[in-house]
């Protein structure tokens, strides 16, 4: 079949690799000058920055993708394990280094609380069981809702998922110290969700991080995209950049092709959209009958947080920080309430600082550091701009970093670039500038994502953070693979039916 992939983010590239491996003729259409989506790069004054994801987890997802095309990931991408995994920094001066080495982690928690140190093993056992349950379903199939989930699990397994608890409630059932609770709760921000709203099954992220490890890609995280693009070139899959899709053509409930902004029309038997479902129905699918009604139905899938991203070239080294650092808020409940419930920027946000030059000196001049700073903020509402907050929030973030150990940081900034939610929305078409797609919310959507199969056009599929299994490098990459599995199964069933 002739397949058109709309968007060259990691999910689109992953789907293209798998579909080509399955024998289809595939072309990727990417509107920007470079594929990779939010996983991208920016350089200046000798500094190199990953502009999106900075932590790699679950590398088996990438290994599986490359293996599907008869290749080895290690021939395309060099990954290295990062230890300590991150440094947690609190306003009272406490620091906790999260580590995948259990004796080290026990000792770190012992500094804070003997009881919580002893509880670590029970917590990790709980997290591992949640992960193993997901390996049977969430990570194995493209699941559209509870009914499909039930078909993969016994009642006993469904109850073991702790469906009545949130992540925060699960964390509190193991740990007493508020700082330790806050640190483990924050793992759910890998998928851009609130620990007070997301289902407890996402507590598995502790096992994903500490059990499976976190990794860095030598030369920068963008080398993941470079590796995929090299593989696609070998597979003779064209990736057309600067090729914005203006409209998905359709007739009688079936997609027929694409019209590019240049005016070129492309025929396709099947279309995979890496553009999120809701923005797609509002733009390239706006004239599809029932598009507005479908968008209304999808409102329960609210976007995740967006972010203020600051890329700073710093002309000194800060030895007290590690590759990954989290400067935590004083009051996490207030922080998450302001962002997710009140939908306003938090007065005291948690700030992430990634300094990849700590592990890879090639990313900054000698004696200098490349600071990737991410502060989560609410997604944009329709017609809203984040420009009004840009200057104030920059100062708030820098004040916090200087207060919590980055002395005189402002004096040492020699390069700076920012991304605000407006940029994330315009560059990648994400809903409200969402970073991670759809937020997992126990009450609103049960933690599920938008189904990969379009409800309106029979041969249109969605991939990426808004669809199953969610946001983040491994999840969107897995999304492309699971959607390819879904397509393969649908085509098989259609062939049987036609026969």
Q: Judge whether 166 lies within some domain.
A: yes
Residues 200 and 121 in one domain: yes
Question: C-alpha distances in angstroms, 304 versus 47, 53, 400, 461?
Answer: 29, 15, 24, 21
Selection from 187, 157, 220, 184 nearest residue 96 by Cα: 184
Distance (Å, rounded) from C-alpha 218 to C-alpha 78?
6
Distance (Å, rounded) from C-alpha 488 to C-alpha 499?
17
Residue-level pLDDT at 232: 98
Residues 246 and 208 in one domain: no
Q: Judge whether 289 lies within some domain.
A: yes
Residue-level pLDDT at 497: 81
User: Under DSSP, is residue 119 helix (H, G, I), strand (E, B) or coil?
Assistant: helix
**What CATH number should be reported for the domain holding residue 249?**
3.50.50.60
Q: Judge whether 45 lies within some domain.
A: no
Residues 105 and 190 in one domain: yes
Selection from 449, 6, 493, 483 nearest residue 191 by Cα: 449
Distance (Å, rounded) from C-alpha 324 to C-alpha 371?
10
Distance (Å, rounded) from C-alpha 435 to C-alpha 425?
9
Residues 224 and 205 in one domain: no
Residue-level pLDDT at 458: 93
Residues 248 and 182 in one domain: no
Residues 171 and 187 in one domain: yes
Among residues 213, 235, 254, which one ends one of the domains? 213
Residue-level pLDDT at 94: 96
Residues 243 and 188 in one domain: no
Residues 130 and 169 in one domain: yes
pTM: 0.95
Residues 111 and 179 in one domain: yes
Among residues 184, 213, 242, which one ends one of the domains? 213
DSSP state of 189: G
- CB atoms < 10 A from the CB of 382, how many? 6
Q: Judge whether 186 lies within some domain.
A: yes
CA–chain centroid gap for 47, Å, is 24
Distance (Å, rounded) from C-alpha 73 to C-alpha 80?
13
Residue-level pLDDT at 191: 86
Q: Judge whether 399 lies within some domain.
A: no
Residues 11 and 112 in one domain: no
Among residues 179, 213, 247, which one ends one of the domains? 213
Selection from 192, 224, 219 nearest residue 39 by Cα: 224
Tokens matching residue 390: 């840009």
**Where in the sequence is the domain holding 29, given as residue range(s)?**
2-34+220-299+451-498
Residues 234 and 207 in one domain: no
Residues 292 and 267 in one domain: yes
Q: Judge whether 438 lies within some domain.
A: no
- Strand locations in 31-98 (E): 41-44, 47-50, 79-81, 86-89, 95-98
Tokens matching residue 256: 């027929």
Per-residue pLDDT tens listing for the chain (499 residues): 999 999 999 999 999 999 999 999 999 999 999 999 999 999 999 999 999 889 999 999 999 999 999 999 999 999 999 999 999 999 999 999 999 999 999 999 999 999 999 999 999 999 999 999 999 988 988 888 888 888 899 999 999 999 999 999 999 999 999 999 999 999 998 888 999 999 999 999 999 999 999 999 999 999 999 999 999 999 999 999 999 999 999 999 999 999 999 999 999 999 999 999 999 999 999 999 999 999 999 989 999 999 999 999 999 999 999 999 999 999 999 999 999 999 999 999 999 999 999 999 999 999 999 999 999 999 999 899 999 999 999 999 999 999 999 999 999 999 999 999 999 999 999 999 999 999 888 888 888 899 999 999 999 999 999 999 988 899 999 999 999 999 999 999 888 888 7
Number of domains forming the structure of the chain: 2
Selection from 475, 447, 444 nearest residue 199 by Cα: 447
Using the CB atoms, write b or e for 170-180: b if 16+ within 10 Å: bbbebbebebb
Q: Judge whether 83 lies within some domain.
A: no
Q: Judge whether 26 lies within some domain.
A: yes
């Amino acid at each position: 079949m002739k397949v058109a992939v709309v968007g060259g983010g990691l999910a689109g590239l992953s789907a293209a690799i798998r579909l080509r491996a399955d024998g289809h003729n595939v072309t990727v259409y990417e509107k920007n000058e470079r594929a990779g989506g939010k996983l991208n790069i920016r350089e200046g004054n000798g500094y190199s920055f990953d502009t999106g994801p900075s932590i790699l987890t679950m590398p088996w997802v990438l290994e599986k993708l490359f293996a599907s095309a008869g290749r080895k990931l290690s021939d395309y991408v060099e990954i290295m394990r990062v230890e300590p995994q991150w440094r947690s920094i609190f306003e009272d001066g406490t620091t906790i280094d999260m580590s995948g080495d259990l004796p080290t982690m026990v000792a770190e928690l012992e500094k804070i609380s003997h009881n919580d140190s002893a509880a670590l093993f029970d917590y990790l056992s709980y997290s591992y069981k949640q992960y193993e349950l997901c390996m049977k379903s969430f990570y194995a199939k493209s699941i559209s809702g509870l009914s499909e989930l039930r078909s993969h699990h016994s009642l006993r397994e469904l109850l073991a998922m702790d469906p009545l608890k949130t992540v925060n409630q699960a964390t509190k059932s193991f740990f007493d110290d508020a700082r330790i609770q806050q640190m483990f709760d924050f793992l759910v921000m890998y998928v851009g969700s609130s620990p007070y709203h997301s289902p407890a099954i996402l507590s598995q992220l502790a096992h994903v991080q500490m059990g499976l490890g976190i990794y860095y890609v030598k030369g920068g995280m963008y080398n993941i995209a470079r590796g995929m693009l090299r593989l696609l070139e070998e597979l003779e899959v064209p990736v057309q950049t600067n090729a914005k899709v203006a409209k998905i053509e359709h007739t009688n409930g079936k997609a027929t092709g694409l019209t590019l902004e240049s005016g070129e029309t492309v025929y396709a038997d099947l279309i995979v959209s890496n553009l999120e479902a809701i923005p797609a129905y509002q733009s390239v699918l706006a004239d599809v009958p029932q598009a507005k009604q479908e968008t209304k139905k999808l409102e329960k899938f609210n976007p995740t947080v967006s972010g203020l991203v600051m890329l700073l070239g710093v002309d000194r080294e800060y030895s007290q920080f590690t590759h990954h650092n989290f400067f935590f808020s004083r009051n996490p409940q207030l922080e998450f309430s302001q962002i997710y419930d009140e939908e306003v920027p938090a007065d005291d946000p948690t700030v992430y600082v990634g300094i990849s030059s700590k592990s890879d000196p090639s990313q900054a001049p000698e004696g200098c550091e490349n600071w990737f700073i991410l502060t989560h903020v609410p997604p944009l509402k329709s017609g809203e701009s984040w420009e009004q907050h840009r200057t104030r929030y920059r100062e708030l973030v820098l004040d916090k970093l200087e207060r919590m150990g980055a002395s005189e940081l402002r004096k040492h900034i020699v390069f700076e670039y920012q991304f605000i939610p407006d940029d994330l929305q315009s560059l990648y078409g994400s809903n409200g500038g969402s970073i991670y797609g759809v937020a997992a919310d126990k009450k609103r959507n049960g933690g599920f994502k938008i189904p990969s199969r379009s409800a309106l056009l029979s041969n249109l599929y969605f991939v990426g953070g808004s669809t199953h299994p969610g946001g983040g490098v491994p999840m969107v990459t897995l999304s492309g693979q699971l959607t390819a599995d879904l397509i393969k199964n649908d085509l098989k069933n259609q062939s049987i039916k036609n026969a």
